[in-house]
Structure 1
């Protein structure tokens, strides 16, 4: 069997699983503000928690394109379940695969993929978000051990995680550590009443002089926490979030199309009104464009293209903006019902906003893309400024 055939079969299985196991629980997950352990276990049994990770560790080994499609299928049905994939599988699993030692990978990847352990990426802090180089969590060396002290905030899965990749600084030397929940000094506090991500188990994570060993707990090398670990992890995360934007936008479009074909006003189905058709037409176009960017980024990642990272940034920026726009339009098409939690577009509208903030705000993405454009499209051979004087 060719790999593409195998991956298509996996996606068909995922589609069935989403329909039977995730979608029926989406409202309950939102209301209870937690991911059912039973659902996590079922996903683990299917290998979904290691969808993009190697088979040797128990993963499904999907390539970037199919992993993106996998993320979209999950994200259409439930954003919190998609967050599990983004954080546990991409930010933690892929980062461990890329930078972990052989012993670290053999120890942790099978446990993460099987669901025995849940992983979280502890970077953000009360006063540090996009300015990741200035994390306030500190570490100190004590012989052959390290002591970590500090507070992380807005950590997805933080309240249920067994394993944290923690970014800490020692006089500007930024290092990534693998820290286990059951270590003395580790505690978490759930964050509730959020606009979105209510079932993502957001938490504050406090490290009160946590003692860890050098050999088993540094991820990568000391001092490589930002340039290597953070940069790589956020790149993995951005790719997942790019597809999450497509997922929310597509779900919102599906909902507004279904509603507009049933809802009547002035004796006509509302999809017959030109302004509604304009909204739907623009939404279809934007989604197709966003998905195309994601597919291109996926192909470039699969081929290890040197510009895959910037293409991923572009895809994340665009799809997150599109998700916000289309979910807002879906609420508008639904009218008053769009503001009711009885209809899914209300939740989609809230969830979409977060995508413009996590894994780098839209404003940060604009700066990155602008800097790329200023280098990429500067043609020294053409004098655009004085060209008119020669006509």
Structure 2
């Protein structure tokens, strides 16, 4: 496994880092306070090619390798975790399924707008009664001639209220469980399709998270993504990919928290010297740096495995599990190093602490990740 970045990867990393520091870092706390999505910055990221990292050039994308994608998400998330996850979703959960499973007509209709940032995408799988148990979704899709009539409710959908295009999962036959789940591309403005309640969240407050309501929404059969009954497979494949993005997001959050803690420890004077001179603080910083490096390596390993074309379910789950728990632990330690100041909103570690928690929950809770990993290692141990 070659861990040395190519010159192209270094250039992409530097471009993302420069954008994050100039365009995101100065406004991230204000966006968090206002609960306002960074739409203008999102469009600019499209112009830079960062929203089409999984889209072939013939459809307006800038297709590159998964390691480059990971580097971009880490740099953006270090400055603004909300922007990081919006970019991750646009790439891995919206553009990627259309690029892999879409018809030629679907690719030409949707990918250029999504890759450029002119259109915002959403991935609508989760329902009130179908979170970890995605196979139990209740949203129905009934065939009616050249249309499917979709009825149901999705919730906790990132970009829900601002999305121009949503990848929606519904069942054509609930008795079939996961074998009845089918994916559709649904456009904003389709009669019977509207956003519902917007959520008031603890963290990643600069993302829009809402319900999506379908009331006898007639979707052309030509907007079906893949075949009937293929939706669950599509969802699981995209979630594997999405977990790499969440791992990269978690690494970015943890890295910023560590950097802030290190800077504070070197400048904060107590007992006549910087607190960085105390072993108690040094050991926290050492453990923070070590865990972040390990999380990054697990994430890069999963990205490299994905690029080989081999199955990477275990590696993605491991990266997401370890990186998310690292982010939560590192941000907690960063606040502890800051003491009372870390509890105040004017210090960025307070926001990072709130942003970190969601990485243990979405794209499959960490309990689900442990089940996924256990299943994979038991299968691998069979003779």
Shorter-chain TM-score tier? over 0.9
CA distance in 1, matches of 2:200, 2:123: 21
State whether structure 2 residue 176 is matched by structure 1 residue 174.
no
Aligned to 2:69: 67
1:322 pairs with 321, 326, 333, which one?
326
Give how far 1:288 is off. 1.0
Aligned to 1:212: 219
State whether structure 2 residue 122 is matched by structure 1 residue 116.
no
Give how far 1:36 is off. 3.3
SS in 1 for 2:130: coil
Give how far 1:98 is off. 1.0
Aligned to 1:90: 92
2:209 pairs with 195, 198, 202, which one?
202
Q: Is the 8 A contact 2:38 2:83 kept in 1?
A: no
Give how far 1:372 is off. 2.0
CA distance in 2, matches of 1:77, 1:124: 28
Aligned to 1:189: 196
TM-score, normalised with respect to structure 1: 0.92
Aligned to 2:177: none
Aligned to 1:164: 166
2:346 pairs with 337, 342, 349, which one?
342
CA distance in 1, matches of 2:331, 2:206: 20
SS in 1 for 2:26: helix
Q: Is the 8 A contact 2:85 2:245 kept in 1?
A: no
Q: Is the 8 A contact 2:184 2:225 kept in 1?
A: yes
How many residues end up aligned between the 2 structures? 374
TM-score, normalised with respect to structure 2: 0.94
Q: What do you get for the CA RMSD once the two structures are aligned?
A: 1.5
CA distance in 2, matches of 1:6, 1:290: 23
Q: Mark the runs of 5 or more structure 1 residues left unpaired by the alignment.
A: 381-391
1:288 pairs with 293, 303, 327, which one?
293
CA distance in 2, matches of 1:327, 1:147: 46
1:102 pairs with 101, 104, 118, which one?
104
1:20 pairs with 19, 22, 29, which one?
22
SS in 2 for 1:204: strand
Give how far 1:280 is off. 0.6
Which structure is richer in relative contact order (CA contacts within 8 A, separation 6 or more)?
2
Q: Is the 8 A contact 2:156 2:199 kept in 1?
A: no
Q: Which deviations, in whole Å up to 9, do the C-alpha atoms of 1:286-305 show, x marking residues without a partner?
A: 11111111111111111112
State whether structure 2 residue 379 is matched by structure 1 residue 375.
yes
SS in 2 for 1:199: coil
Give how far 1:336 is off. 0.9
**Closer, same or farther: CA 373–36 of 1 in aligned 2, 3 Å:** closer
Q: Which deviations, in whole Å up to 9, do the C-alpha atoms of 1:57-78 show, x marking residues without a partner?
A: 2222220111111110011000
Give how far 1:190 is off. 4.4
State whether structure 2 residue 128 is matched by structure 1 residue 126.
yes
Runs of 4+ in 1 over 4 A off after TM superposition: none
